[in-house]
Amino acid sequence: MKHKLLMVILTITTISVLCGCAHTSISVTNPPSDNISTNTEDEERESQWKSDWVYDFGDPCIGDLKAGQHIKVGTVTIANDLTKLYVTFETTNGWFMTLTHMHIAKNVEDIPQTDTGNPIPGLFDYHAVHDPPVQKYTYEIEICSVGNEGWNSGDEFFVAAHAEVQKVIIIDGEEKIWEETAWGCEEPFPGANWATFCVCNIQCTKHNCLVKLPASQVTAQFFDWDDKCRCCWWRKPPGPTGGFWKSVLLSDVPIGYSVWNKEWTGWCLEINKVINCQKCDPVPPQPDIYSVTLYSSQSSNLPRSAALCDWERINYILNHKHPAASECDIQQAMWFFTVPKLEPDTEIAWAMVHDAIKNGAGYHPGANWDDVEAVILDAGEPYQMTFIEVNCTMVSESCGTFCPPAQTLR
């Protein structure tokens, strides 16, 4: 179907929004009225929504850098990511490096050695002269450039790390240069000298936040976060009972999904709409009942208003709440990344906004076992969309093959 291109009209509407006890006048920018196609087929919604993979490269492989066989002068640290190996030489206690040699191999026999098993640093693949002397130096090596057998997560490899080191000392009131040869780690070469090498493994596990939601609508009721007044956040008068709702009671949820019949921590999404509710009387009435459709915020198949929001940063805030933040601070911080948008009026909320701007781009839940994901509740027009916090079902697996043999660079 062809759609006419509509001019974007931004309507600035000033509304009063109540959060906690503060009655704040804000300026709201409504979303553009352009048409965003949305497929809401049941089989699409019922998919198991997975976030992008979050990679864990484990702890680095660390060994002592020893001079003259017994003097610890620093460390050698070996780590990897998806594409590179990192070998870092670092000296301490006044020791400096003037020269480093390094070699990586999938078999210890492939490290250049004499016929009697003594390593030959001059034949190592990597070397650097350090003038002036340095205390830290890192080699970055493409994983697929090492060997020709290919690489998989968990593969063992060997690193020979050699350095020429020196230190200024005082003898009889005069400065002298103490020079030594140093080797990293503790595994001895088979030769007669004391040279050593490191034994490490490629480390990579990938984690994923899995959320499975029912295609059918479920029932939702909204409860206030402080006095159970059971009114929507925007209709309440100023005062100690003011606030947005904190819990959402879901019912009629089929078995076998990431949500079930219980109360969930809930948040507001669209500040220019309301979830209708009955007026707060001295005796709170029963809350309104809504039929809602559930969407994972990781989905590319969101209703129009939700699709305009920055869910990477909203999910970042949900999983990185300021320790001193109130519910109001958290809500205001997340509203900064919705459409319409609200600018916070508290320092803590702004701190969370700045943190999310700096660190939230590309964020996906799943790095930690206690991560939560925003799940959107759509009650249909004219009601406000809302969202709840749902714990991830963690999926973890090995990263598998980094580069098959056919893709090695040499």
Residue finishing a domain among 203, 227, 259: 203
One domain, residues 137 and 165: yes
One domain, residues 63 and 28: no
**Is residue 404 domain-resident?**
no
**Is residue 401 domain-resident?**
no
Cα–Cα distance measured from residue 176 to residue 196, given in angstroms and rounded to the nearest whole number: 28
Cα–Cα distance measured from residue 265 to residue 269, given in angstroms and rounded to the nearest whole number: 13
One domain, residues 226 and 369: yes
One domain, residues 255 and 239: yes
CA-nearest of 249, 172, 252 to 216 is 252
**Is residue 405 domain-resident?**
no
Which segments within 213-289 are labelled E, that is strand?
Answer: 218-224, 245-251, 263-268
Q: In this structure, are residues 402 and 144 in contact, taking their beta carbons and an 8 Å threshold?
A: yes
pTM of the model: 0.59
Domain extent for 109:
58-203
**Is residue 388 domain-resident?**
yes
Token pair of 146, please?
């090492």
How many helices (DSSP H) and strands (DSSP E) are in the chain? 5, 24
Residue finishing a domain among 150, 168, 203: 203
pLDDT in tens, the chain (410 residues): 433 333 333 333 333 333 332 223 233 333 333 333 333 444 334 444 555 677 888 899 999 999 999 999 999 999 999 899 999 999 999 999 999 999 999 999 999 999 999 999 999 999 999 999 999 999 999 998 887 777 888 899 999 999 999 999 998 888 899 999 999 999 999 988 999 999 999 998 887 778 889 999 999 987 754 443 333 343 333 333 334 446 788 999 999 898 999 989 888 888 777 775 544 444 455 557 899 999 999 888 898 889 999 999 999 999 999 999 988 889 889 999 998 888 898 999 999 999 999 999 989 887 777 889 999 999 988 888 999 999 877 777 788 887 766 443 33
Q: In this structure, are residues 254 and 216 in contact, taking their beta carbons and an 8 Å threshold?
A: yes
Q: Is 233 exposed, middle or buried (0-12, 13-18, 19+ CB in 10 A)?
A: buried
Q: How many domains does the chain have?
A: 2
One domain, residues 136 and 251: no
